[in-house]
Structures are given as C-alpha cells and as structure tokens.
Amino acid sequence: MIAVDSPVLVELLSNGPQADAVEAILRQSLVGGRVVVCGATLAEVCASLRGGAEVLEALEEMGVHFNPMEAKSALRAGEMHRRHRQRSG
C-alpha cells in the first residue's frame, strides 16, 4: 500500500507544473499496489481545490482510495514527524 499526501494530489488535480511527472509516478504506484489517502489528506485536497464530492470522484477515477487512519497510526505518524523536525532543526 502506498499513501499519497495532499501536495502531490493538489499538483495533479490543479494541473500544476509537475502534474505530468506526478501522473507518471502515480500510474507506476497503482501498478505496484493499492494507493490510498487518509482523512487529513482528503480534507486538505478538498480545502485547496474543490468540493468533497468532486474530490472523491476525481480520486476514484484515478484509482486512489480513502483509507481511514486509526488513532494509533495517526499518533505514531505525528511522533515521527516531530522527531524528524527536531533532527532537521
């Protein structure tokens, strides 16, 4: 399973300067397995671009699935992000 973050999807859905590269990588990822987004990513894409129904429809057309995150996973991701920021300065 591969999780995609909001900047990647915003770039693709807004046809940004790197949209072609993002699309190529997304296609490769889909061949390798399931591609998902979590709730926070879904909310960020919706806030950045379009209404919720349009975002879900676009993701479904691309083959990207919504995968809700369990609290334990979200907390671990937050802790990892905090440690990364501390090391990076």
Instruction: For residue range 44-74, list pLDDT tens digits in order.
Output: 998 888 677 888 889 999 999 998 877 887 7
- In the chain, the percentage of residues whose pLDDT exceeds 90 is 48
Q: State yes or no: pLDDT of 22 exceeds 90.
A: yes
Classify each residue of 31-63 as buried b or exposed e, where b means 16 or more C-beta atoms within 10 Å of its C-beta. Answer: eeeebbbbeebbebbbeeeeeeeebbebbeebe
Q: State yes or no: pLDDT of 89 exceeds 70.
A: no
17/40: higher pLDDT: 17
- Alpha helices of the chain — where are they, by DSSP H? 6-13, 19-32, 39-48, 52-62, 71-88
Domains of the chain (ranges plus CATH)? 2-88 (3.40.50.1010)
Model pTM score: 0.74
